[in-house]
Amino acid sequence: MATTTDLLSKINEKYGKMSKGQKLLANYIIDNYDKAAFLTAAKLGEIIGVSESTVVRFASYVGYSGYPEFQQALEGMVRTKLNNTDRIEITNGGIEQNGVVKEVLTSDALKIKNTMESIDEAAFYNAVETILKARRIYVVGIRTCAPLASFLSFYLNLLFDNVVNLQTSSASELFEQMIHIGEDDCIIGISFPRYSMRTLKALEFANNRQANVITITDSIHSPMNLYSSCNLIAESDMHSVVDSLVAPLSVINALVVELCNRKQKDLADTLDMVESVWSEYQFYENDEIDMVDDSIRMTYPGDF
């Protein structure tokens, strides 16, 4: 498989003699190869405004046997994009040692601000209505997006009794959990660069089953949107040691709050039930801190 340098070198070598359409392709691929790697030739042409045949000929023109081999080279670029060493170097070079806290918090606040200014509110409320009407709600997020999926699923479970947080240890296991998905269901897919092929395949499977697909991702050009009718876009930043997903989490918070507003009675009943269960089974009897007493007492089974 070609390396990142090989593919870019081939494009740069041929760029001067390319047609206008080919240059549009070249520019898009250089700037967005992490997205292009997941696109079919037809979809890539649609985004750029050229025909599918132009895309296929472009792959051959820059030295590949066809579009599949060209796409494999793109996937290789995604896999090698910003390895951990690169991220450390960028972080060390971009933040002064004594200004890390303010720099990171300011950067995160800016991401939330940008997301707030650009969020599609119609898509947001469409997502809310879709979730409310769904027979079953599936949630999928892999790698760094897994905590976001778990967080969302936790709160959805307080509101609905039909939530499935897809476990993703293997692709086959993922599809086994979705085997009954259908047109009355919805799936919420969460993915940011590096995009997850397993998440993409799950959304494709759901779409083929006529389920409603909601995505939480970073761009309208994200491959996750190929199968989605409702896209919630949140700014992210993967160019540091730690992936910044504060804006996506904020969008998820907003989604949960709006759903809580729509299902206030159900939420109140659920919380009353939870409190009752806690009380009945004495979950916190041996593990609470008495805020009045300044001593901390803990009892264990052996103390009785």
Give the separation between CA 107 and CA 101, rounded to whole angstroms: 10
Quick check: 9 pLDDT over 90? no
Bigger pLDDT: 269 vs 228: 228
User: What average pLDDT does this structure show over 49-74?
Assistant: 88
Rg of the chain on CA atoms, in Å: 24
Same CATH topology for 4-80 and 102-264: the answer is: no
Segments making up each domain of the chain, as ranges: 4-80, 102-264
Task: Give the residue among 102, 155, 121, 115 at the shortest CA–CA distance from 247.
Answer: 115
Which range has the top average pLDDT, 11-15, 92-96, 142-146, 251-255?
251-255
Q: What pLDDT score does 168 carry?
A: 72
Residue 92 has pLDDT above 50, yes or no: no
Q: Is the pTM of this model over 0.75?
A: no
Task: Say which CATH topology domain 102-264 has.
Answer: Rossmann fold (3.40.50)
pLDDT at 86: 45
Long-range interactions of 83-89: CB distance < 8 A, separation 24+ = 84/241, 87/239, 87/240, 87/241, 88/241
State the pLDDT at residue 237. Answer: 64
Q: What pLDDT does residue 277 have? A: 62
- Cα separation, 264 vs 183, whole angstroms: 27
d(CA 237, CA 215): 18
Q: Which fold has domain 4-80?
A: Arc Repressor Mutant, subunit A (1.10.10)
Phi, psi (rounded to 5 degrees) for 242: -105, 130
Q: What is the mean pLDDT of residues 238-250?
A: 71
What was the pLDDT predicted at 190? Answer: 92
Q: Which residues are CB-neighbours of 216 under 8 A, at least 6 positions away?
A: 148, 188, 189, 190, 191, 232, 234, 248, 251, 252
